[in-house]
C-alpha cells in the first residue's frame, strides 16, 4: 500500500501560488531557525539566505529538512540543490526556492 504525504492546514495546496508558498517558507524559517532572530525582518522574494539572513549551510539544510517534511515527496530539494553551483547556492534567494516549490506543485 502506497501512502501519499498528507498536507496540514499550513501547507499550500497544489496550484496555491507563490504568495502562499512564500508564507509557508517564511513560517518555516521562523519555526526552525528562531535563534537567528528574524523577528521584525521582512522576508520577500528577493531576500537572500546567506547575504540578507546570514544563514550558514547547516541552516539551509535544517530549513530544507523542514520544508521537505511539510511538502513530502512533492518537492525534491536534494535534486534542486544538486543542480546549483556553489556560487548559486551562496546567492540563493527565497524567491528561487518559492518558485521551485510552486513549480513542483502545479
State how many domains the chain has: 1
Q: Give the CATH number of the domain where residue 52 resides.
A: 1.10.1200
Residue-wise pLDDT tens digits, 79-102:
999 999 999 999 999 999 999 999
Confidence of residue 48 (pLDDT cuts 50, 70, 90): very high
Please name the residue that has the C-alpha cell 520544508.
67
The percentage of the chain sitting over the pLDDT mark of 90, rounded to a whole number, equals 57
Flag whether 1 is in a domain. Answer: no
- pLDDT, averaged across the chain: 84
Which residue range(s) make up the domain with 77?
A: 18-34+43-105
Q: Which of 6-10, 14-18, 24-28 shows the lowest per-residue confidence on average (mean pLDDT)?
A: 6-10
Flag whether 11 is in a domain. Answer: no
Flag whether 2 is in a domain. Answer: no
Amino acid at each position: 500500500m502506497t501512502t501519499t504525504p498528507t498536507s496540514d492546514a499550513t501547507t499550500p495546496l497544489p496550484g496555491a501560488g507563490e504568495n502562499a508558498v512564500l508564507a509557508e517558507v517564511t513560517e518555516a524559517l521562523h519555526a526552525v531557525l528562531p535563534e537567528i532572530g528574524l523577528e521584525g525582518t521582512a522576508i520577500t522574494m528577493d531576500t537572500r539566505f546567506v547575504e540578507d539572513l546570514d544563514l550558514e549551510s547547516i541552516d539551509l539544510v535544517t530549513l530544507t529538512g523542514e520544508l521537505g517534511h511539510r511538502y513530502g515527496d512533492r518537492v525534491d530539494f536534494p535534486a534542486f540543490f544538486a543542480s546549483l553551483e556553489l556560487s548559486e547556492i551562496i546567492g540563493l534567494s527565497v524567491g528561487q526556492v518559492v518558485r521551485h516549490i510552486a513549480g513542483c506543485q502545479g
